[in-house]
Amino acid sequence: MTLGEKIGLFNSETIARDAMMSTNSPKMMDATYRFIITLGKKAQSSGVNSFRLQSYLKRVSESLGLQAEFLITPSYIHYVFQRPGPSQVSYFQSADAAAFDMNKLIQISSLVDRVTAGDLELEEAEIALENIGQSPPLYGTWPVGFGYVLSGMGFALLLNASWMDVLFAALLSAVVYGLVLMSGRLSWLTTPLEFASALVAGILASVLAWLLPGSNAFTTTLCGVVVLVPGWGLTVGLAEITANMTASGLQRLINAILTSVKLFIGAMIGTWIVSGFLSIPPVVEVASKADFWSWIAVVGLMIGLAMIFQVRRDDLIWVVVGGLLAYTGVVFGSQIGYWQGSFIGAMALGAFAYLYSWRYRRPSSIVMLTGVMILVPGAASIIGLFASENGNVADVIGAEWRVFVIAMAIISGLIVPYTILPRHADL
């Protein structure tokens, strides 16, 4: 059964009334429905959060002469289209697992602009959306793997890890990427991916710390799995709850918390396994590096994440600039307090993402997604790992409270520019 036939099952007796609308024919109405539904599916599978997608679908629907409402969560989209009179068309669509692909998101946004401008027919646009969804990724296996390595090294430098640990972070990041590739072929590995990645990283980091005394196994483990750390999910989940999208926000927040728990438990078990057989030497205190290394780390982290999230080369410079602006805000704000840096950095990033989207008519998520990684409280996560390993419950609670406060500071900072500046719906 085609998508159009499924839609028609809901209110087939009212199709004759469609001729009264601006779309002029029942056939055109069905084409409009199909386009909106396909748009929602492809945009969500490319990594758009529920709040942005809902605003965007409403804007596109209104531009096509439809009155529509949407209930969106990470696992489904419920479409409700208002027909002439009291009748409605309702469609429920389960969502595919989201894979961040900023290149496809740009193509989708550009295609929608052509449709709303009247330059492309709906039937052609629907086919084009399907082709975008089926197109291969911009970066293949090796470039994405290099992105994992760059991200791990960049994050290790930001945490002032030793040069030895920076190299270990690169090695563990490559191993984690290998597990990610395996999960695409082995379905049984998909669900426990985060746990398995942290477990393997914890074991390897502890063995390396035993072989080469002075290495910090906790730091290298965290840097090895940094791409899997759900900082974006935690931040977006809280943001959606504050925006009254409770169902989506709670689901995203719970998923982020469970992912964090799987990462922490995997890392702890990996460390305990090795500690049961080997005596790991104490960590050697690392002298602070020159400040310019932190800025180099930000550039490397942004480039690595851009490759993982399939950012176009034309947008790479703007991703790096967004990351540098966010880090600048963190550096200056941290002199005031532990959460003020994240707030100022998020505010700078949000303003830049808004201006980027307005100037180039491209989704602000391209800059926002990678830039938020600079604001994620990685140091608090490390404190939580240490506290868990030492059994200090008070330190664990304190670390997680700091994570929550910093996440709320990030949300507040991102909201400020969109409150002050004129609103526009984008992906």
Least confident span in 102-111, 120-129, 386-395: 386-395
Check whether residue 401 and residue 342 sit in a common domain.
Answer: yes
Distance of CA 128 to the CA centre of its chain: 25
Q: Per the domain annotation, does 426 fall within a domain? A: no
- pLDDT value of position 308: 95
CA distance 32 to 39: 10
Cα separation, 348 vs 351, in Å, equals 5
pLDDT at 29: 59
Q: Count how many domains the chain has.
A: 2
Domain boundary among 99, 134, 169: 134
Strand partners, 89: 81
- For residues 89 and 161, membership in a common domain is answered with no
- The DSSP secondary structure of 46-93, one letter per residue, reads TT--HHHHHHHHHHHHHHTT-EEEEEEETTEEEEEEEPSTT-EEEEEE
The yes-or-no verdict on residue 18 having pLDDT over 50 is: no
381 has a pLDDT exceeding 60? no
* One domain for residues 206 and 221: yes
Q: Is 342 found in the same domain as 206?
A: yes
In whole angstroms, give the CA distance from residue 283 to residue 133: 47
In a domain, 103, yes or no: yes
Residue 178 domain boundaries: 141-420
Do 145 and 128 touch, CB atoms closer than 8 A?
A: no
Q: Are residues 62 and 149 in the same domain?
A: no
Residue 195 or 31, more confident? 195
Q: Where are the beta strands (DSSP E) in 87-172?
A: 88-94
**Statement: residue 62 has pLDDT above 50:** yes
Average pLDDT on 196-205 reads 96
Highest mean predicted confidence (pLDDT) among 101-105, 178-182, 375-379, 388-392: 178-182
Contact 414, 368 (CB under 8 A): yes
Q: Is residue 302 a part of any domain in this protein?
A: yes
In a domain, 22, yes or no: yes
- Please report the pLDDT score of residue 28 as a whole number: 55
CB-CB contact of 138 with 151 (8 Å): no
User: Could you tell me which of 216, 214, 191 has the C-alpha nearest to residue 267?
Assistant: 216
Q: Looking at the domain assignment, is residue 311 inside a domain?
A: yes
Rounded mean pLDDT, 198-225: 93
Q: How far is Cα 321 from Cα 382, in angstroms, rounded to an integer?
A: 27
136 φ/ψ angles, rounded to the nearest 5 degrees: -70, 160
What would the mean pLDDT of 376-393 be, rounded to a whole number? Answer: 55
Q: Output DSSP code: residue 159.
A: T
First-residue to last-residue Cα distance in the chain: 30
User: Once rounded to an integer, what is the mean pLDDT over residues 70-85?
Assistant: 86
Domain contains 425: no
| Statement to judge: residues 91 and 186 lie in one domain | no
pLDDT at 20: 30
In-domain check, residue 427: no
Report d(CA 264, CA 224) in Å as an integer.
13
What is the amino acid identity at position 15? I
Question: By mean pLDDT, which of 40-44, 200-204, 376-380 is the weakest?
Answer: 376-380
Q: Count how many Cα atoms sit within 13 Å of the Cα of residue 88 in the half-sphere of its side chain.
A: 11
Listed residues 93, 114, 134: the one ending a domain? 134
Examine the domain organization and report whether 91 and 164 are in the same domain: no
Q: Domain check: are 188 and 295 in the same one?
A: yes
Output the pTM of the full model: 0.86
The pLDDT score that the predictor gives to residue 148 is 97
Within-domain flag for 413? yes
What mean pLDDT is reported for the chain? Answer: 83
> What per-residue confidence (pLDDT) applies to 10?
39
Average pLDDT value for residue range 326-330:
92
The per-residue pLDDT for 224 is 93
The pLDDT of residue 386? 54
| CA proximity to 120, closest of 193, 201, 35 | 35
Which of 134, 161, 186 is at the close of a domain?
Answer: 134
pLDDT of 11 above 70: no
Same domain? For 102 and 161 the reply is: no
At residue 385, the pLDDT reads: 52
Same-domain pairing of 282 and 356: yes
Higher pLDDT, 335 or 204: 204
Higher pLDDT, 419 or 303: 303
- Is the pLDDT assigned to residue 378 strictly greater than 80? no
CA distance 120 to 198: 47
Spatial contact of 168 and 202, defined as CB atoms under 8 Å apart: no
Identify whether residues 399 and 324 lie together within a single domain: yes
DSSP code per residue over 391-422: T-HHHHHHHHHHHHHHHHHHHHHHHHHHHHSP
- What integer is the mean pLDDT of 145-168? 94
Distances (CA, A) of 386 to 97, 270, 410: 32, 14, 24
Same domain, 120 and 148: no
Asked whether residue 254 carries a pLDDT value surpassing 80, the answer given is: yes
